Amino acid sequence: MRPLLAPLLVASVASAMFHRRGMEIGPIDPTTEYLSKRAEGFNGWDTFDQLLDHSNPQLGTFKQRYWYGTEFWKGPGSPIILTTPGEQTAEGFNKTYFTTQRLAGLFAKELGGAVILLEHRYWGQSSPFEQLTVENLQYLTLDNSIKDLSHLARELVAPFDTSGRSSATEAPWVYTGCSYGGALASWSATMDPGTIWAYHGSSGPVEAISDFWRYFTPVLEASPQNCSADVQAVIEHVDVVLMHGTSRDKVKLKERFKLGDLTDADFGVALEWGPWKWQENQFHSVSSRGYSPYHQFCDYVENMWPNSTNKVPGAAGVGLQKALDGYAKWFTERELPGFCQSFGYADWKGELNTGCFQGQNGSNIMFRDLSVNNSMNRQWAWMLCNEPFEFWQDGAPVGEPTLVSRLVTADYWREQCGYYFPAERYGPQTYTYGVKRGKRADSVNQFTGGWFSTNATRLMYSNGELDPWRDATVSSHIRPGGPFQSSSEDVEIRVIPGGTHCSDLYGKNWAVNEGVKKIVDEEVATMRRWVGEFYVLSNKTWPGR
């Protein structure tokens, strides 16, 4: 996700390889200087003594960082809006999440509540350990991550309300999250109910999928016909050369992309960066950036790069040779320059360095950085490999259209798990990861309920019609029985027409798209109704009402 390689970015973007497939929720893009500063006087941060292992409290606690924003808070007993940016440091997210330019801040304004932004265990300054060894990562589990939310809600004495009337036993706590954080909403509501009052989850991939080639199905659906046809033609050609060509043919092809030193599968993954651009698209992309990242990629493939005088091609596209030229031009001009170097590793210095694409090099620095603030999001790799969520984004099976090389397989990604997490032995104890022990994504679904984790009270889902993660959400087109439909006033589902990943999160989207604005208005109305029920049922007065 090149445009996000900035000082404030989502951690799951930090790898050119393994973690590009992580669930991203977009950059911390301060809407205006005014909005960034406006809430500053109401903000603060602190730490909470969180249990290291909820199944074994005797192991003690660690410091989990959180921020709070009270601009809209009406006093003790008012609602608390809890959110987390998920698999990344939460540093800086308070700059926008406490404002009405994010859904959490909008909920706070409409409900008269405070926002608490919780940093996920093991990220940022919320790690129990300084080194992310395999042994130390044992407590980074989905079960612990779910229970972190409810334990905080029950036990926190907020700095802005030392009376204790803001705990979940005294005030309604509302959780909202998107992407992995959206899945946490569903899992918390169904697996750990009774503490948090109401939930909203956007684009939550609740069904873990091993071979997730369908990540690219919505990309195919959203692509201009010419781009889709030409990218498929390029990938088919690439696979023919890599599988059946001579060594000279392979080198010649790779050198067109300045990737001559990559293995065949690594080269296939490098080309995946084009289709991956779709996840960056939002309704506000053009107005905010001046371009849509995915459509910029398509323009290059169609030989319509900046200042090009070529005619706009029809639905059939430009054909293989021109498309291959355009794909290579996009990669060598827009994607590769400075990319690997930007991660800050000495091994990857040089404008055209390709180290970050070398996923089959087991000695690569990406696999050896054990620091908490590593550039490769080792923590998310652990959850992919250990739970294991997997979610390997690879080429489609033969017989299905594909935008990604079929040399990119689930086994290609699983191989990297072994590079990241070689077995550690301490006396009789051996520490390893779930995939190595034979676990697969199905084990996560057996634990959570997957697509069917819908038996809840006061849970809202929202998903994008064209979100690449769609088929891992309850709105999946391959979910047995079809996409989930609202089952009662207690469980609601909304699909955002034309929406992508976390489309209802951003105020900029509400401003430019009536469809997402309508859904956000409905979400606010539902949350207002549910929070009102808390005060009625507990015979308490809603502060400020």
Strands 429-431 and 61-69: unpaired
Strands (E) across 5-60 are located at 43-51
How confident is the model at residue 58, as a pLDDT?
98
Question: At residue 178, does pLDDT exceed 70?
Answer: yes
Q: Which two tokens stand for residue 434?
A: 């779930």
User: What is the residue whose two structure tokens read 């639905």?
Assistant: 315
How confident is the model at residue 29, as a pLDDT?
54
CA gap 230, 492 in Å, rounded: 39
Q: Is 413 exposed, middle or buried (0-12, 13-18, 19+ CB in 10 A)?
A: buried
Report whether 463 contacts 474 (CB < 8 A).
yes
How confident is the model at residue 40, as a pLDDT?
54
Report whether 216 contacts 275 (CB < 8 A).
yes
CA gap 444, 386 in Å, rounded: 10
Quote the mean pLDDT of the chain: 93
Going by C-alpha positions, the residue among 141, 144, 185 that lies closest to residue 474 is: 185
* Domain definitions of the chain by residue range: 37-206+449-537, 210-436
Please say whether the structural domain 37-206+449-537 has been given the CATH code 3.40.50.1820.
yes
Given 467, 471, 476, 504, which residue is catalytic?
A: 467
User: What SS3 class is residue 109?
Assistant: helix
CA gap 433, 385 in Å, rounded: 6
Q: Which residue has the higher pLDDT, 6 or 215?
A: 215
Phi-psi region of 242 (alpha: psi -120 to 50; beta: other; left: phi over 0): alpha
Taking the chain, what is the end-to-end CA distance rounded to the nearest angstrom?
Answer: 44
Given 179, 285, 375, 503, which residue is catalytic?
A: 179
CA gap 102, 108 in Å, rounded: 10
Q: Which two tokens stand for residue 121?
A: 């265990």
How confident is the model at residue 43, as a pLDDT?
86
Question: At residue 33, does pLDDT exceed 90?
Answer: no
Whether 325 sits among the annotated catalytic residues: the reply is no
Residues 168-188 have a mean pLDDT of: 98
Question: At residue 9, does pLDDT exceed 60?
Answer: no
CA gap 18, 6 in Å, rounded: 19
How confident is the model at residue 41, as a pLDDT?
58
Question: At residue 113, does pLDDT exceed 60?
Answer: yes
Question: At residue 541, does pLDDT exceed 50?
Answer: yes
Question: At residue 14, does pLDDT exceed 70?
Answer: no
Tens digits of per-residue pLDDT, 270-324? 999 999 999 999 999 988 888 899 999 999 999 999 999 999 999 999 999 999 9
Question: At residue 477, does pLDDT exceed 80?
Answer: yes
CA gap 93, 95 in Å, rounded: 5
Tens digits of per-residue pLDDT, 41-81? 578 999 999 999 999 999 999 999 999 999 999 999 999 99
What is the three-state SS of 419-481?
HHCCCEEECCEEECCCHHHCCCHHHHHHHHCHHHCCCCCCEEEEEECCCCCHHHCCCCCCCCC
Q: How much is the pTM?
A: 0.94
Question: At residue 335, does pLDDT exceed 70?
Answer: yes
Q: What percent of the chain has a predicted confidence (pLDDT) above 90?
A: 90
Residues 86-99 have a mean pLDDT of: 93
Whether 179 sits among the annotated catalytic residues: the reply is yes
Strands (E) across 168-220 are located at 173-178, 198-202, 209-211
Task: Report the alpha-carbon angle 120-276-300, nearest 5.
Answer: 145
CA gap 379, 385 in Å, rounded: 10
